[in-house]
Amino acid sequence: MFKLGLSRCSNSLILRSQLKSAKLQPHIIKLNKIPITSPISLRFNSTSTTNTSQEIQDKLVLFDHHPDLSHAVSSSDIHSNQIGYLESIGMGQGWGPTSIIERLLEYTHVYTGLPWWGTICVLAIAVRIILFPLYVKASSNATRMSEIKPQLDIIMKEIKGGDIQDQMKGMEKRKKLMKKHNVSTLAGLAPVLQLPLAYGFFQALRKMANHPVEGFNDQGYAWFQNLSDVDPYLGLQAIAAIAIISVVRIGGETGQHAMAKSMQKIMTIVPIISIFITKNFSAAIVLYFAINSILSLIQSAIFKSNFLRKLLGMPKKLSIQQLNQSNVNQSQSIKDMVTKFVDDSKEKSIKAARDANKRMEVTKQRKSSFNDGFIKKH
């Protein structure tokens, strides 16, 4: 018994000395120097180890809730009325047409406080206003082009029917005539810049409706409350079709195109067919189509008014008779156009064959002259 008490006493003294040294260096505890002389000391050590491990487990219990904490952070309260919402769901990244339109839609929605249907309308109107000067330039260019078109047609016939020298002369005449009347072929292509933006609108609204973006399900208007769903009555498709047909009847977006009756019939049927093509599109996409078509109609009406054209610094619009005279070839039927194309192709083929025969005759004459000795061989 005396020995057992000494063993316990010695063990406690050693532990005290180790703990004192541990206060100075808490990261270094040399338990391997504790002599193990009795089963009691073993039980003492095992008990302390168990208590230490239990304390560690108690401390580590806090980390069991870490996954829930990360889940709370990832699902932070970012909504569609805050900048960065679209990026948080994988949209509005990059600098392509679609990403640019997505970001513009988000900025418009956040800073104006409008519902999504109003956001789409406002942004479509803003883009058309920005592009309006290009349409003004294109309409003015179309008017001047129509004025000189009879002269251009004569020059083009000279270019097509003549040889290389005649073609070069004709192209020079055409260039001088267009420069004199301030006509540019590139100005007529200015509205084409709208195509990338229209593509961006289509893709952006399609992605936002398919996600769907927060608010698309209940921030519609009138009969299309759900912008992610299709228009149940095809009303937006009908509005877009009527507006496009009216634009064609007026004279196109520039208001200065005399279209043949046969072509007008085709351009009347195409919008009607598009109603059934777009019937499965989301209401958000068709809403953009309808707004854009209405804006085109308003723009065409502006370009038809001489008073507004004067305010915009545009030349006076041509009358229907002047347009028809300058576009005589466009008044032909489709059958006549096809017949003319075939005849022109035959004429070009015959002309090419004649030129080839002429070149062969020249080559044959040179060879015969060489054989007769008129051309000396060096």
CA distance 311 to 306: 9
pLDDT at 239 over 80: yes
Report the pLDDT value the prediction gives residue 106, as an integer from 0 to 100. 96
- Are 202 and 194 in contact by the 8 Å Cβ rule? The answer is no
Averaged pLDDT for residues 98-119: 96
Of 130-139, 346-355, 358-367, the range with the lowest mean pLDDT is 346-355
Among 311, 308, 177, 216, smallest CA distance to 255 is for: 308
Helix (H, G, I), strand (E, B) or coil at 56: helix
What is the residue-averaged pLDDT of the chain?
76
For residue 95, pLDDT over 70 is answered with yes
What's the pLDDT tens digit per position in 246-257? 988 887 776 665
For residue 373, the model assigns a pLDDT of 56
Q: Is residue 233 within 8 Å of residue 223, measured between CB atoms?
A: yes
- Taking only the tens place, the pLDDT of each residue in 305-341 is 889 888 998 888 776 666 655 554 444 445 555 666 6
Higher pLDDT, 253 or 115: 115
Check if the beta carbon of residue 294 is closer than 8 Å to that of residue 243. Answer: yes
Taking the C-alpha atoms of 270, 274, 275 and 276 in order, what is their torsion angle to the nearest 10 degrees? 110
* Alpha helices (H) in the chain, listed in sequence order: 2-24, 39-60, 66-74, 85-88, 97-112, 116-161, 164-180, 194-210, 235-250, 261-277, 283-304, 306-311, 320-326, 334-371
Decide if pLDDT at 75 tops 60.
no
Q: Which residues pair with 230 in a beta bridge?
A: 282
Reduce the secondary structure of 85-153 to three states and give it as a string: HHHHCCCCCCCCHHHHHHHHHHHHHHHHCCCHHHHHHHHHHHHHHHHHHHHHHHHHHHHHHHHHHHHHH
* Least confident span in 117-126, 196-205, 321-330: 321-330
pLDDT at 283 over 60: yes
Q: Which of 206, 220, 213 is nearest to 86 (CA)?
A: 213
Please identify which residue in the block is written with the tokens 């001088």.
Answer: 176
- φ and ψ at residue 256, rounded to 5 degrees: -135, 40
Angle (CA) 301-307-313 rounded to 5° is: 95
Q: pLDDT tens, 50-66?
A: 555 555 455 444 444 44
Q: Report the distance separating Cα 215 and Cα 225, nearest Å.
A: 10
Instruction: Let me know: does 299 contact 256? Beta carbons within 8 Å.
Output: no
Where is pLDDT greater, at 74 or 276? Answer: 276
Flag the least confident range among 53-57, 101-105, 214-218, 299-303.
Answer: 53-57
Chain segment 4-47, per-residue pLDDT in tens = 444 444 555 454 555 455 444 444 444 444 444 444 444 444 44
pTM of the predicted model, to two decimals?
Answer: 0.66
Q: Are the C-beta atoms of 98 and 108 separated by less than 8 Å?
A: no
Whether residue 270 is predicted with pLDDT greater than 70 in this model: the reply is yes
The pLDDT, as a whole number, for residue 173 is 86
Confidence of residue 114 (pLDDT cuts 50, 70, 90): very high
